[in-house]
Amino acid sequence: MSVAIGRTQATFCATLVDELMAGGLRHAVICPGSRSTPLAIAIGASALTTHVRLDERSAGFFALGLARATKQAVLVLVTSGTAAAELHAAVVEAQLDRVSLIIATADRPPELHGIGSPQTMHQEGLYGDHVVFSAMPGPCHAWPENLWRPFASRLILESLGSNGRPGPVHVNLPFIEPLVSEADALPASPRPGQAFYTAAPAAPGEMTLASSHRCVVIAGDGIGDAEVFLAQSAVMQWPVLADPRSGLRSGAEHVIASGDALLRSEVVKATLDPSVIILAGAPPASKIVNEWIVDCAGRGTEIVVLGHDGPSRHPTQVSATFVSGEPSAILENFAATASPGESSWLHRWQESQSIVLDAQATVFGDGTFCEPSVAVTLSQLGSDVTLVSSSSMPIRDLEWFGVNTGQSTRVVANRGANGIDGVVSTAMGVATALTTSVVAVVGDLAFFHDVSALVDGVDDDSGLTVVVLDNGGGGIFSFLAQRQLLDGDVFEEFFGTPRRPDVLSVARGFDAEAREVNSHPEFLEALSAAQGQTGVHVIVARMPSRDENVARHELLHGEAVKALATALG
């Protein structure tokens, strides 16, 4: 092909990057490949912070972690062929949990498709409806330069949620040889230094409730300004059942971290009957809490859902009023016009939580080193630590046993599709983006599932501590009916799935600093030693058996329910 086409491609790519940066892009993740060369060169020549990852699957989750930590869109670039398919799991997670990614897949030009050309496959619509926007513009030399900037600007605008719903966008870019060329002068921007397109947030509308005297707020990730949310809910004297990812477990007296434990009690459900339940942000992970919402709705409780998602993020499917906008802003708007709730209502929730915490403390007092005790410790790491949790048992243990203290730890978890895919990679992205300490907690299977992430590790000036809860297999399955209904050998083969490699040996094989701990004091000492260190540090926490873990959970839940019945019944 001609040199002129090569220069056009180089200029297009440089313009694309320039306009994305004007829209706020700061990070790009690049996987090595040939066909993606024009855009890779443009990224490398820009002021973007670039991260090169060998494994595309890991790279997708690394970018997801960057985007979660920075709350900005992140660009991911891969070459043509199966490299693009490797990103699919991260794209699904980003779409379901509203994370801004710009997925750029290089492609071969149309004339090389359908003839057996190497590393060529059909990439149009590759991610289906798992992207909020997709673009297949064709070879760039075939369209006018004055359309390049609006095209690029739309990519970042769509990813950030021009319709109120952020998510991944996909742009498929066919490149023609020569792939290495010099760029010409870029087409001028009509607004130098600013994005071609901008969007202003809509003002929050008024919210009217049938009654506000017995209101409960259930808050998850994506509630907006946490300080505003806490302040306004406190003014209203509303108990807030805060998910670990909400960022609200920071010591406020009206925050209830033990919602799951409380609502296992029939006495609590009978005596704490709300007139209104406000759902803000991502849905709760707890099955117990979700079942309670359904029960309350069936008894006539008004359900109000705050956010931009409407019915698309309302898993209980009960009758509800949807109020569109930023939850914290809506709550602030409502608090300015409504009457506060009853102080006795909030006090009863607080009293019930105290009973639960005392009962659990008695069980924890025996010193058993177990998965729930690890969750308690990790939830108290402090406000200068970000905790990345796997979406299997660890996030549930944080919800059930994590505490509400003045040293709130920020919790990040891939709860869009709730899978264990790419948790270590996500944590590496978070660690690379932040200057604060980052700790990840995963099970042994989640660790092995994403072991390729250890090939690239973290940036030289970043540090990540990975806590691996090693109970010899998939612990969450022991809580399900399969454990009781299936033959033991069958259960182990298809659900427990213990693996032969030793976690400690595998981690050290990738040159990670790794140590084993078997007690709570050893665990605390290992955590302390890893804080502030660069590189990847793996702490292998040897846990009781999976069946013992189930028994420990049943004891903790059972003692809490018993204490509530005694005190309130």
Q: What is the DSSP string of 33-98?
A: -STTHHHHHHHHTSSSEEEE-S-HHHHHHHHHHHHHHHTS-EEEEE-STHHHHTTHHHHHHHHHTT
- 3-class secondary structure, 277: strand
Instruction: Compute the 3-state secondary structure of the chain and give helix, strand, coil in percent, each to the nearest 5.
Output: 45, 15, 40
* Angle in degrees, 0-180, between the axes of helices 56-70 and 88-96, rounded to the nearest 10: 20
Per-residue pLDDT of the chain (569 residues; tens, 9 = 90+): 577 888 999 999 999 999 999 999 999 999 999 889 999 999 999 999 999 999 999 999 999 999 999 999 999 999 998 999 999 999 999 999 999 999 999 988 887 777 877 787 888 889 999 999 988 887 877 778 888 988 898 899 889 886 678 999 999 999 998 988 999 899 988 778 888 876 655 454 555 665 667 899 999 999 999 999 999 999 999 999 999 999 999 889 999 999 999 999 999 999 999 999 999 999 988 999 999 999 998 898 988 888 887 777 888 878 788 788 889 988 888 777 777 878 899 999 999 999 999 999 999 999 999 999 999 999 999 888 999 999 889 999 999 999 887 777 899 999 888 888 899 999 999 999 998 899 999 999 999 999 999 999 998 889 999 999 999 888 788 777 888 888 888 878 888 888 888 999 999 999 999 999 999 999 999 999 998 899 999 999 999 998 999 999 999 999 999 999 999 87
CA–CA dist 211, 215 (Å, integer): 8
Q: What is the pLDDT of residue 200?
A: 54
Element spanning 564, H or E: helix 546-568
The CATH superfamily holding the domain 369-543 is Thiamin diphosphate (ThDP)-binding fold, Pyr/PP domains (3.40.50.970)
The fold adopted by the segment(s) 3-174 is Rossmann fold (3.40.50)
Q: Where are the domains of the chain?
A: 3-174, 215-355, 369-543
Q: What pLDDT is recorded for position 202? A: 47
Instruction: Answer yes or no: same fold for 3-174 and 215-355.
Output: yes
CB-count exposure of residue 500 (10 Å: 0-12, 13-18, 19+): exposed
Backbone φ and ψ of 13, nearest 5°: -65, -40
CATH for 215-355 is: 3.40.50.1220
